[in-house]
Each structure stands twice: as C-alpha cells, then as structure tokens.
C-alpha cells in the first residue's frame, strides 16, 4: 500500500509500504494511483514527494506477480500520470531504486538520492527489459551509450555515479525525505515543461548505426543465447530513432516476447533460488532460522597456494582481519606480493582503498591462536590436512571453527581426527576464490548447526552464493561434473573431437566447453585424483580390459594425454594447442586428432558421426541424473541448491535456470526416455541408468520443481 500525509502544510508525502523492498505489487500500485490523485486534487498541496518506507525507495515490480494474472493498475499509465501532473513530483531515493522503482522515479520531475542509495535497471538479469518506459526515458535523460551500458548489463550504480550521469538532481548525506521536502517547497509553482523526460529529444550520436552494430555484436557474444540483452539493445535503438509514443509501442512488443519466454521464467527462478538457498536445512532438522551464527571478526588461512591466496583476499575484502599462514618462506613472499596486487587491482576496479592492512602474514601456525575461524587450504592430502588440524587444535582458542577448503576429501574423516568434530565444516571455494561467487558449505554428520550457520553467514558476507550441502565424494558440484566429463571422454572414443563437443556446449550457453575448461583448470589435477583412486594406470595398454575399471567402462584418454606432459594452458598443450605456455587462445591441434585416430584404431573402435544433440543429451542428462541421485541421497536439500551451484560455480547459463530447472523445462519424461535409450546403448555405463527419484517424479506426472521435495519425502518414507 501507500501512505499519504501532508508535511509543511503544502507538500503531499506519499510513502510506499511493502516490506522488505517496497516492490510495486498490485496493492502498492493502487495506493500510488489513489494518493497521487489525492495530492493533485488538494488545492493546498503545491508539490509532492514520493519515498519508500524503512529507508528503501523501491525494488521494482513485484517479481512474485510475474506469471500470474495481473491485477491492479498497470505501471505505464501510473507513471505517465505522475509525469503529466501539474505540480512538481520529487522522488526521495534511499536504499534502492531498481527496475520499476527507478522507472517510477524517472516519471517524477526531480530525483534526490541519499549518498548510499543504489540505482539501476536490472530487468535484463530477470530475462526482461525495462518496459515501464525505462528503455525510452533513460536514453533521453543520459544519452544512448550510457543508457545502453546500464540497461544491457543491469548493473546498479551508486548515487555519486547517478549524479554524474544525470539520473539524479541532487545527492544528500542527510535525511533524504527532509531534503526532498525542502527541495519540493523550493520548486513549487515552477514550470514543469522542461522536467518531463518523455518529451526530451533523444540525443543521437552521429555514428548511431555503427554504435548499435558494435554494441549488438558485443551483447550477442556475451549473451550466450540469452534473448533479453538483445531486446534491450533493440528497445534503446527505438528510443534513439522513434518518437516517444512509437518507442513505447516497440518497448511493449519486445517485452511481450520476453515476458512469456522460458528464459525469463528460468532467470526469475534463479533469482528466488539464490535467496531460497539461504534458508538451509540439515537432515537433522536444524535450520537457518534456529541456528545462530557465531561472530567472526578475525580469520586465518593456512596455506597460500592459489586457493589460499584467493580466500584470504576475499575475507579481507569482506572486512575481516586475516592471518595468512604459509610455512615456506619463498612461497610466503610470493603470496604476499600476489595478494597485495590482487587487492590493489580490485580496489582500482571497484573504487575504494585496498584492504592491505587487514592481512598479516606469518610462517607459523601459532599466529592463528586468537582467530575465530580457520580455513585450511593446504595441498589435497588427507594426512597433511589431519596434521594441520592437529596443530590448529593445539594452538587455537577453544571454540575456533576449523574449516577445510578440500574439494574432494572426506570432511567427516577429517572432523573425526579432531577432539571437537562439531566445529569442523567444509568451505569449498571455487578458483579463483576472490572472483568466483560460489561457496559450498559442507556439513558432516557431526558438524554443529552453529558451525554451518557461521560458515553460511561468512560466505554471504564475502558476497558468495553459499549453499549448504552434505558430505560425499565431490560434494554436489564436482560429483555431478564427474559424469559430464566422463561422457565427454566417451564421446571422443566414439568419434567426436574436442572441438565438436565444446561447440555444442558453448552453443548451449556455457562460456567454455568441457575441453577448453579442462585446459584452463589444468588436466593434471584430475589425473592425480584418478591415480590416487587407482583408476589411471601407466602405459598404453590395449584390448578390452584397458577401457574397463572395476567392471565398468572407463576412458583412459585423459590419462594418456597427461602422460604426454600435456596439462592444458599452463604447458601450452592439452586438448588444444596454445601459442605458448600460459596463453589463453585455444587452437585446434592436429596432434590431438591423429592421437584420437590412433587410440580408436588400437582399441578397435570405429568412429561414427556424432551430432550436437547427442553431445548435449549425454553430457547434460548424465549430470542431471546424478543431480536426482544427490536429491535422493539428501546431499542437497532441494533442486534450487543444485541449480544455484551450477549457475554460480560451473558456468551453467542462467537463462536456462540450472540443470534441474532445465530438466523440468525439457520435460522429465523426455529426460528419462533419453537416459533409458543411452543406457541401453551403453549398458557398461551404470551412471546412465535413470535414478529412482526421476522415475518417481515422472510417474507422479512430472510436477514442477518446487514440488520435488514432497515427492522425495514420499519416496523416502516408502523405502
Ligand atoms: C509493464 C512492465 C512490467 C514489468 C516491469 C518490470 C520491471 C521490474 O521492476 S522487474 C524487477 C526489477 N527489480 C529487481 O530486479 C530488484 C530485485 N531485488 C534485488 O536486487 C534485491 O532484493 C535488493 C532490492 C537489492 C535488496 O537486496 P537485499 O537487501 O540483499 O535483500 P534480498 O534478500 O535480495 O531481498 C529481500 C526479500 O525481498 C524479496 N524481493 C526483492 N526484490 C523483490 C521484487 N522486486 N519483487 C518481489 N520480491 C522481491 C526477495 O525475494 C527476498 O524475499 P525472501 O522471501 O526474504 O527471500
């Protein structure tokens, strides 16, 4: 709703009230329409201020209403009537003015913002465009290039940047509503002819066609198949080339296409999934709302390899005091230099001061004596980690949380080696840890809810999508990835090339296909794990048993490539070739093609033609099938957890909503049928056998994603 009062006798003050972000629900829109009418018809009122309750202007249209029947007054005429008013209307912007919230403010005649306010048109991140006039007013106000940047990226700007761009008229450090009322008093009675943005001509850069061509090309490239960014460019082009009314028509047309698209549904699902994962629940019943996190002001990171450095930088950026421990002197010096430049580069990019003073460096684990939480990031070796945890237990103050950044070792085994296993959780960061926005918080059967709550809160403080998951080999992300990688190798055996597989996955929307990605991460990492698991065997054995391990199909291709010293980008050779070690541009490698031919010949394999559809179905459906197994096992509490992990950590295209949501869009029956088909064709690949939860869901009529937890519960109660 919206509240109305009169202040200073002559200013009508309209306050949006819809906690927590004052989203423009039907009731709020109706409230605005009514209160604007009241203010305009009151002869005593000379000007109007619109603000939001609780220091928050407006988070935009109510996303929960999308996809439901529309009630209440529509946004566009509501904003038009404000702009057409014959009394000045001032927006008092505190907190955020986003999407429809900023569009409402652009319909006002003046905008005053608090210095801490954030403004933006993030519709593109929800698969939409600013369709309440935002795509037509913003370019008229700030020019085409700046508007294109804001609308196609959806980025939020600070009040200072908004002032510089000309989006707001004034910025205040004081009470924004008071400042807006004062301003409203000062402009009462002034002509509004020059204040209605829809009447402005859109400034047209001389090289308009070239500009749009260049932007469109860039947007298409980075959109990876998402349609909203392209529609945003088309809408801004309409603003630049058409009169306002026709531009609004074009905006409406483009929005109609987006609004009903599967992509918008997927992206809105991810918006809510990202928030839902914060409401975690452990199988014991402990949950976010009953578990209080401990305060963490000082943390230690043990081991300053690539991961440890990134983690320490992420902690310092979040404002924590960090003790960075590395026992090797040379490594410590290198780390110090690298971390300082990471902090400096970050501060330069984001503005602000690098948090160099928050990090202290030491060669001794004793330095962790007074910290609240430790994250160990030493080499992936259980014996070494156990030793580090032993030393930490002796050194740290009682109650210090001990977290491990292992990506594959058993968190529970590590916990069992400490006297207080309840204080141990996994904090699985993704490389580079100061850049990647995902954290898997891994709890074992003995981890206390408080330890989980603390790690989850710390992840959020570092700006990471943090997902609580159970302990199993590979946790959620890597457990699923294993099957995706496995299928990719099998496809090479059967006739595909790395280029073909990667092209199919990149056209689907991944930033990099599986082989380019592996070259980037380093092929030796997986090889070491396979050797430790007794899978990778040296030498080029031939015959049927060379491709079988523990009774099942196994592809040694990756091991053989590593045996050639081809570890990916870092060695200049991997699945592709690179100009020199460390170069990033992957080029087709004739060596690889003849290696694959020889490999097939040695194993009596006949190459067949493989199309993109088969690549996608085998790689993605096997990964999805494992996702269902993870749900069945209770390692992830719901499909949202898996989808957030994949979108934020594994480059799954956001406009496809994550693997589990994607499965629901494809149709569970189809996924099941294709898995059955491939399992029949490859009976020696047990992972292609559809799991029982998937079968059960199909038998229950393929309910939508939000109902899967119920089906799982029923399945469990019957087991
Ligand atoms: C013809 C025209 C038709 C349509 C036009 C559409 C234009 C639009 O306006 S689309 C919406 C654009 N707005 C956004 O994208 C903003 C989304 N929200 C945010 O970015 C953030 O929530 C925030 C406003 C910056 C606040 O962040 P924070 O303080 O971290 O809180 P959160 O945890 O994110 O959110 C709290 C709570 O509010 C819910 N919520 C947030 N925004 C909306 C919204 N626009 N509609 C509905 N609900 C919203 C969010 O889901 C959280 O709910 P929980 O139940 O607590 O999870």
Quickly list DSSP for 405-425. --SSS-HHHHHHTSS-GGGEE
Per-residue model confidence (pLDDT) at position 490? 97
How far is the centre of ligand 1, averaged over its atoms, from the C-alpha of 370 (Å)? 39
- Give helix 134-142 / helix 228-241 axis angle, nearest 10°: 60
**Pairing mode, strands 424-429 and 438-443:** antiparallel
Spatial CA neighbour of 296 closest among 199, 215, 374? 374
How far is the centre of ligand 1, averaged over its atoms, from the C-alpha of 20 (Å)? 9
Same domain, 590 and 667: no
Residue 99 near residue 24, CB atoms below 8 Å: no
Angle at 532 between CA 526 and CA 534, to 5 degrees: 105
Residues with C-beta less than 6 Å from any ligand 1 atom: 20-21, 23, 59-64, 75-76, 96, 98-100, 122-123, 126, 128, 131-132, 272, 275
Which H/E stretch holds residue 488? Answer: helix 477-494
Q: Which of ligand 1's atoms lies nearest the C-alpha of 154? A: 15
* Count of C-beta atoms within a 10 Å radius of residue 141: 17
Residue 528 near residue 521, CB atoms below 8 Å: no
**Pairing mode, strands 110-114 and 170-172:** parallel
How far is the centre of ligand 1, averaged over its atoms, from the C-alpha of 43 (Å)? 36
Give the pTM: 0.95
Spatial CA neighbour of 376 closest among 350, 402, 352? 402
Which of 175, 201, 227 is the C-terminal boundary of a domain?
201
Alpha-carbon span 365 to 373, nearest angstrom? 13
Per-residue model confidence (pLDDT) at position 542? 67
Asked if residue 292 belongs to a domain, the reply is no
Q: Which of ligand 1's atoms lies nearest the C-alpha of 101? A: 9
Residue 647 near residue 658, CB atoms below 8 Å: yes
Residue 339 near residue 317, CB atoms below 8 Å: no
Which of 154, 179, 201 is the C-terminal boundary of a domain?
201
Tell me the H-state helices in 121-188. Answer: 134-142, 144-153, 159-165, 176-187
Q: Which residues of the chain, if any, have pLDDT below 70?
A: 540-544, 718-719
Residue 295 near residue 161, CB atoms below 8 Å: no
Alpha-carbon span 662 to 125, nearest angstrom? 17
For the sheet with 96-98, list strands across it: 96-98, 118-120, 156-158
Same domain, 623 and 503: no
Radius of gyration of the chain (CA): 28
The DSSP annotation for 289-313 comes to TT-PPPP-SEEEEE--SHHHHHHHH
Same domain, 50 and 188: yes
Same domain, 413 and 554: no
Which residue has the least CA distance to atom 12 on ligand 1?
Answer: 99
**CB burial readout 6-27, b (16+ within 10 A) else e:** eeeebbbbbbbebeebbbbbee
Same domain, 594 and 622: no
Asked if residue 49 belongs to a domain, the reply is yes
Same domain, 533 and 674: no
Per-residue model confidence (pLDDT) at position 464? 98
Q: Which of ligand 1's atoms lies nearest the C-alpha of 60? A: 9
In a mutational test of the pocket of ligand 1, which residue from 28, 60, 94, 644 has the highest number of ligand atoms less than 8 Å from its CB? 60
**Pairing mode, strands 11-16 and 2-7:** antiparallel
Asked if residue 679 belongs to a domain, the reply is yes
Alpha-carbon span 326 to 582, nearest angstrom? 25
Q: How many domains does the structure of the chain reveal?
A: 4
Which residue has the least CA distance to atom 37 on ligand 1?
Answer: 20
How far is the centre of ligand 1, averaged over its atoms, from the C-alpha of 265 (Å)? 15
Same domain, 75 and 178: yes
How far is the centre of ligand 1, averaged over its atoms, from the C-alpha of 154 (Å)? 13
DSSP secondary-structure letter at 171?
Answer: E
Provide the token pair at 431: 């490389």
Same domain, 312 and 380: yes
Alpha-carbon span 254 to 347, nearest angstrom? 38
Alpha-carbon span 182 to 369, nearest angstrom? 54
Strand partners, 406: none
How far is the centre of ligand 1, averaged over its atoms, from the C-alpha of 76 (Å)? 19
Range of the domain at 673: 612-718
In a mutational test of the pocket of ligand 1, which residue from 28, 55, 59, 103 has the highest number of ligand atoms less than 8 Å from its CB? 59
In a mutational test of the pocket of ligand 1, which residue from 20, 259, 271, 644 has the highest number of ligand atoms less than 8 Å from its CB? 20
For residue 398, the domain's CATH number is 3.40.50.720
Same domain, 335 and 453: yes
Unique residue bearing structure tokens 């970050």: 346
Per-residue model confidence (pLDDT) at position 229? 98
Alpha-carbon span 89 to 51, nearest angstrom? 11
For residue 569, the domain's CATH number is 1.10.1040.10
Asked if residue 255 belongs to a domain, the reply is no
Same domain, 357 and 421: yes
Per-residue model confidence (pLDDT) at position 597? 97
Asked if residue 283 belongs to a domain, the reply is no
**CB burial readout 579-600, b (16+ within 10 A) else e:** eeeeeeebeebeebeebbeebb
Asked if residue 164 belongs to a domain, the reply is yes
Residue 505 near residue 616, CB atoms below 8 Å: yes
How far is the centre of ligand 1, averaged over its atoms, from the C-alpha of 158 (Å)? 18
Per-residue model confidence (pLDDT) at position 711? 84
CA atoms within 13 A on the CB side of 668: 23
Asked if residue 261 belongs to a domain, the reply is no
- Please tell me whether residue 483 adopts helix, strand or coil conformation: helix
Which of 152, 184, 201 is the C-terminal boundary of a domain?
201
Residues annotated as catalytic are 103, 123
For residue 174, the domain's CATH number is 3.90.226.10
Torsion, Cα 545 551 557 560, to 10 degrees, reads -60
Which residue has the least CA distance to atom 17 on ligand 1?
Answer: 59
Spatial CA neighbour of 506 closest among 644, 612, 397, 661? 612
Q: Which of ligand 1's atoms lies nearest the C-alpha of 276? A: 57
The DSSP annotation for 585-601 comes to --B--HHHHHHHHHHHH
**CB burial readout 516-526, b (16+ within 10 A) else e:** bbbbebbbbbb
Which H/E stretch holds residue 438? Answer: strand 438-443
DSSP secondary-structure letter at 403?
Answer: E
Which residue has the least CA distance to atom 36 on ligand 1?
Answer: 20
- Please tell me whether residue 324 adopts helix, strand or coil conformation: strand
Same domain, 594 and 636: no
DSSP secondary-structure letter at 666?
Answer: H
Provide the token pair at 475: 């946790």
Asked if residue 377 belongs to a domain, the reply is yes
Same domain, 167 and 310: no
């Amino acid at each position: 709703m919206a509240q109305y009062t009169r202040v200073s006798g002559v200013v009508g003050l309209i306050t949006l009230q819809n906690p927590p972000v004052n989203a423009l629900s039907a009731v709020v829109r109706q409230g605005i329409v009514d209160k604007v009418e009241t203010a305009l018809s009151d002869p005593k009122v000379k000007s109007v201020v619109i603000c939001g309750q609780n220091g928050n202007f407006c988070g935009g249209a109510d996303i929960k209403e999308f996809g439901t029947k529309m009630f209440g007054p529509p946004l566009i005429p509501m904003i038009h009537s404000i702009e057409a008013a014959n009394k000045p209307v001032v927006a008092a912007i505190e907190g955020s003015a986003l999407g429809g919230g900023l569009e409402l403010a652009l319909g006002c005649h003046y905008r005053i913002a608090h210095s801490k306010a954030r403004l933006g048109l993030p519709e593109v991140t929800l698969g939409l465009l600013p369709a309440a006039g935002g795509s037509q007013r913003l370019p008229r106000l700030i020019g085409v290039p700046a508007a294109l940047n804001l609308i196609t990226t959806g980025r939020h700007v600070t009040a200072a940047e908004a002032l510089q761009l000309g989006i707001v008229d004034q910025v205040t450090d004081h009470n924004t509503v008071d400042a807006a009322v004062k301003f409203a008093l000062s402009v009462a009675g002034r002509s509004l002819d020059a204040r209605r943005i829809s009447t402005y001509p859109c400034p047209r850069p001389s090289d308009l066609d070239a500009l749009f061509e260049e932007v469109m090309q860039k947007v298409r490239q980075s959109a990876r198949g998402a349609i909203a960014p392209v529609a945003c460019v088309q809408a801004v082009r309409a603003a630049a080339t058409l009169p306002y009314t026709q531009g609004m028509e074009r905006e409406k047309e483009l929005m109609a296409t987006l609004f009903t698209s599967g992509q918008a549904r997927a992206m809105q699902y991810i918006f809510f999934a990202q928030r839902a994962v914060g409401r975690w629940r452990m199988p014991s019943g402990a949950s976010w709302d009953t578990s209080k996190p401990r305060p963490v002001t000082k943390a230690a990171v043990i081991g300053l390899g690539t991961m440890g450095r990134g983690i320490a930088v992420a902690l310092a950026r979040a404002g924590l005091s960090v003790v960075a421990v590395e026992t090797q002197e040379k490594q410590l010096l290198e780390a110090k230099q690298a971390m300082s430049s990471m902090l400096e580069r970050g501060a330069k990019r984001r503005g602000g001061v690098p948090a160099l003073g928050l990090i202290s460096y030491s060669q001794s684990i004793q330095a962790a004596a007074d910290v609240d939480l430790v994250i160990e990031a030493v080499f992936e070796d259980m014996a070494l980690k156990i030793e580090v945890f032993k030393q930490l237990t002796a050194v740290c103050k009682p109650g210090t949380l001990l977290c491990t950044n292992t990506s594959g070792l058993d968190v529970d085994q590590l916990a069992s080696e400490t006297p207080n296993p309840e204080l141990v959780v996994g904090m699985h960061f993704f490389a580079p840890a100061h850049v990647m926005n995902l954290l898997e918080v891994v709890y074992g059967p003995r981890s206390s809810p408080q330890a989980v709550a603390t790690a989850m809160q710390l992840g959020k403080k570092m700006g990471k999508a943090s997902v609580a998951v159970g302990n199993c080999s590979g946790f959620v992300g890597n457990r699923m990835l294993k099957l995706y990688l496995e299928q990719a190798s099998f496809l090479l055996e059967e006739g595909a090339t790395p280029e073909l597989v990667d092209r199919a996955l990149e056209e689907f929307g991944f930033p990099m296909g599986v082989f380019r990605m592996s070259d980037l991460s380093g092929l030796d990492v997986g090889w070491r794990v396979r050797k430790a698991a007794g899978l990778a065997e040296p030498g080029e054995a031939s015959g049927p048993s060379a491709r079988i391990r523990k009774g099942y199909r196994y592809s040694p291709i990756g091991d053989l490539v590593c045996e050639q010293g081809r570890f990916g980008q870092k060695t200049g050779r991997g699945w592709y070739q690179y100009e020199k070690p460390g170069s990033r541009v992957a080029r087709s490698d004739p060596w690889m093609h003849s290696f694959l031919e020889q490999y097939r010949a040695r194993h009596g394999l006949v190459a067949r033609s493989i199309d993109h559809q088969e690549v996608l179905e085998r790689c993605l459906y096997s990964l999805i099938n494992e996702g269902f197994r993870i749900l069945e096992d209770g390692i992830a509490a719901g499909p949202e957890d898996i989808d957030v992990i994949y979108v934020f950590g594994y480059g799954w295209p956001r406009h496809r909503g994550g693997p589990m949501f994607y499965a629901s869009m494809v149709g569970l029956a189809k996924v099941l049928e294709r898995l059955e088909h491939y399992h029949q064709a490859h009976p020696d690949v047990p992972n292609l056998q559809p799991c029982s939860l998937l079968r059960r869901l199909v038998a229950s009529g393929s309910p939508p994603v939000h109902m899967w937890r119920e089906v799982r519960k029923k399945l469990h109660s019957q087991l």
